[in-house]
Amino acid sequence: MAALNEHKAAARAASVRTKFPGMPKDALAQILTKRATRKTVIEGAGNGAAVTALEGTLASPEPASKTLVLTGIGALLTADIAFTTKVQMQLLLEIGEIYECPFSKDDEDDVWLILKTAFGLRGTEKVSSYGRFIFTEAAKKQFRALLRRHGVRRAAQQAVAKIAGKQVAKYVSEKALMGLIPVANAAFGAWFNRRVTRAVGKWAKVKAKIRASTFASIDALNQSDRTAAIWILPLIFHVGTADDQLVDNTVTLYAQASNRLILTNQEIAEVEGLTDAEDFNLLFDSGMKNLVNDEVKRELLNIAVTTAAATQLYFSDVHHRSIERLSKSMGVAYCTDDLHKKIAYLRR
């Protein structure tokens, strides 16, 4: 949290908008990614050159202090990781500003999302796998209760900490292997940081788009029909787990949507009843009959499509059939192309 600067991120996003007026958000995000990449490339080259210099002293017959030299190399690698990770986390804040869905360092879910993305986690990792849960039909009710009480989120966060630790270990190992080719350290340091920062920028765009698309619909429903907004969380869970899997993107989206809705105690009770219901489809059919505004229904459908697209980031027939069934209850047109387009939008 201390490494994040929201004000600087907002200023940089505003600056790039001013400098390139009328440019699409994807292009602006790409510009910010290139700037962050340039920073990490320069640092990586300099860091690699410094490591090469220290390695040169090891090559001498009697280095002055081999222990100090090795400690220095380790410190340089650590500093490189700290610098690049901070730049990459800040990049997520900037891209969030570009897509008008700013992340907050005071929001635990946002900070975890930023950290996970900076470590290269895509969000499609299965909670049921790394949380050691078996996600069967019989376990769904327990999972819904855990999700409401943040139990799954906590389990996911603890597991992600372990996964992130492995990512750091892999990062350090790859950096260390570069040291086996002393003369090329600077080149490899620059190449490695370029590759990693570009990947982080790519996934930062995906996360921001998922968030922006969902938040836009939530805001529209909050303004036009608060009763319809009660269906948002049950829809996210129902569609996100249609394939009997629970992935981190679904958990994150559920948590962030919950924060955005700011539910009252009465609304929380309604959401819990709908989410726990074993006859969800029947309740949904009945609920949709009471909604007469087609625009409201389209916003709900957009949330369902966004959830399905975010779950795996590729087309899933199971998720498609789940949305198809919901769309028929709503009386809103939907086809496979809608899901394909949403996935393409998130990934581009």
Residue 274 shares a structural domain with residue 343:
yes
Residues 237 and 117 in one domain: no
Residue 233 lies in a domain: yes
pLDDT at 131: 44
CA distances to 134, 195, 209, 258, 284 from 339, rounded to whole Å, are 28, 29, 15, 23, 21
User: Hunting for tokens 């009660």 — which residue is that?
Assistant: 230
Tell me the pLDDT band of 27, cut-offs 50, 70 and 90.
very high
User: Each residue of 262-300: pLDDT tens digit?
Assistant: 888 888 888 878 877 778 889 898 888 888 788 999 999
Q: What are phi and psi of 77, to 5 degrees?
A: -65, -40
Weakest-pLDDT range from 18-32, 70-84, 142-156: 142-156
| Residue 133: per-residue pLDDT | 44
Pick from 149, 160, 174: which is nearest to 84 by CA? Answer: 174
Q: Are residues 228 and 193 in the same domain?
A: no
DSSP run (H or E) holding 4 = none
User: Domain residues for 313?
Assistant: 209-347
Q: Are residues 267 and 169 in the same domain?
A: no
- Section 19-41 average pLDDT: 94
Closest by CA to 201, choosing from 45, 335, 90, is: 90
**Cβ proximity of 338 and 305 under 8 Å:** yes
Q: In this structure, are 186 and 298 located in the same domain?
A: no
Residues 165 and 262 in one domain: no
Q: What is the mean pLDDT of residues 184-210?
A: 88
Question: Do residues 258 and 172 both lie within one domain?
Answer: no
Give the pLDDT score at 36: 95
- Rounded average pLDDT over 108-122: 81
Tell me whether residue 320 is in a domain: yes
Both 220 and 237 in one domain: the answer is: yes
Q: How far is CA 269 from CA 20, 219, 273, 276, in A?
A: 47, 21, 6, 10
Instruction: Output the DSSP codes for 102-171.
Output: ---TT-HHHHHHHHHHHTT--S-SBHHHHTT----GGGHHHHHHHHHTTHHHHHHHHHHHHHHHHHHHHH
Contact between 239 and 319 under an 8 Å Cβ cutoff? The reply is: yes
Contact residues for 130 (Cβ-Cβ < 8 A; gap 6+): 156, 159, 160, 162, 163
Task: Specify if 138 maps to a domain.
Answer: no
Average pLDDT over all residues of the chain? 83
3-state secondary structure of 247: strand
Do 161 and 231 sit in the same domain of this protein? no
Cβ-contact 195, 238 below 8 angstroms: no
**Residues contacting residue 324 through CB under 8 Å, at least 6 positions apart:** 334
Q: Looking at residue 227, what is its pLDDT?
A: 84
- Please report whether residue 126 resides in a domain: no
256 located within any domain: yes
Whether 51 maps to a domain, the answer reads yes
**CA distance readout (Å), 10 to 98, 103, 295:** 8, 10, 32
Percent of the chain with pLDDT over 90: 37
Q: Is residue 146 part of a domain?
A: no
Does residue 163 sit in the same domain as residue 73?
yes
**Residues 304 and 178 occupy one common structural domain:** no
pLDDT at 135: 46
CA atoms within 13 A on the CB side of 194: 10
Sign of the four-CA dihedral 173, 177, 182, 186? negative
Angstrom distance (rounded) from CA 148 to CA 27: 37
Domain count, the chain: 2
Answer yes or no: is 92 within a domain: yes
User: Domain ends where: 176, 204, 232?
Assistant: 204
Asked if pLDDT for residue 142 goes beyond 70, the answer is no
Q: Is 229 in the same domain as 242?
A: yes
Global pTM? Answer: 0.82
Confidence of residue 196 (pLDDT cuts 50, 70, 90): confident
